[in-house]
Amino acid sequence: MSTSSSLDSAESNGSNVWAYKAAFDKRYQKFLDEVTPYYAYRWIGTVVILGLFMLRIFILQGFYIVTYALGIYLLNLFLAFLQPKFDPSLEMDITENEGEEGPSLPTQADEEFKPFIRRLPEFKFWYSSTKAIVISLFCTFFPFFDIPVFWPILLIYFCILFAITMKRQIKHMRKYNYVPFDIGKKAYNGKK
């Protein structure tokens, strides 16, 4: 009898853990849904967390590998944010090979307007960036992540990588005539 009651209590404890996790997930999703329209406040919070991370790195004078990995990851996210969901260069290669027309961004004035759809939407960019910064900040509390490296080499390599990557991205944007931002775009007022 005592064995079956201990099994029942273990099963109820296990189901309680899953119930708490489900309740937490539900509250977390509700929080994300509520903060979605407040993009300025979301980004301000992310910049504050990034500032805390940078301050911690400055004070500790270490964890340069964590910082470098965070920088590379944020650069990767930023590039995905700048790129269109349907890459015109890939679509041109496909249409040349197959001879079919597919969806693409307009490259000439007489082509039909197609809206710019990002490969990585703004909310996912913010969410992934914030999560990465929080994880990096968390990693700075464990000394085994503090691998001794000569940080100026990492900094120079990151700056070179950033410059080359952004140069290539800007060339791509010019070649296929798309601007991923609203700056400088015409705004049309609808009928009131």
All structural domains of the chain with their residue ranges = 10-97+118-176
Interatomic CA distance for residues 135 and 120, integer angstroms: 20
> For 2-48, what is each residue's pLDDT tens digit?
555 555 565 666 678 898 999 999 999 999 999 999 989 999 999 99
* Predicted confidence band of residue 101 (pLDDT cuts 50, 70, 90): low
Interatomic CA distance for residues 102 and 17, integer angstroms: 49
The closest of 165, 176, 179, 167 to 89, measured between CA atoms, is: 176
How much is the pLDDT for 192? 47
pLDDT averaged over the chain?
Answer: 82
The closest of 182, 187, 183, 180 to 88, measured between CA atoms, is: 180
Average pLDDT of span 113-119? 71
> For 141-161, what is each residue's pLDDT tens digit?
999 999 988 989 999 999 999
At 191, which helix (H) or strand (E)? none
Cα angle 181, 187, 189; round to 5: 145
Cα angle 58, 167, 113; round to 5: 120
> For 69-80, what is each residue's pLDDT tens digit?
999 999 999 998
* Predicted confidence band of residue 90 (pLDDT cuts 50, 70, 90): low
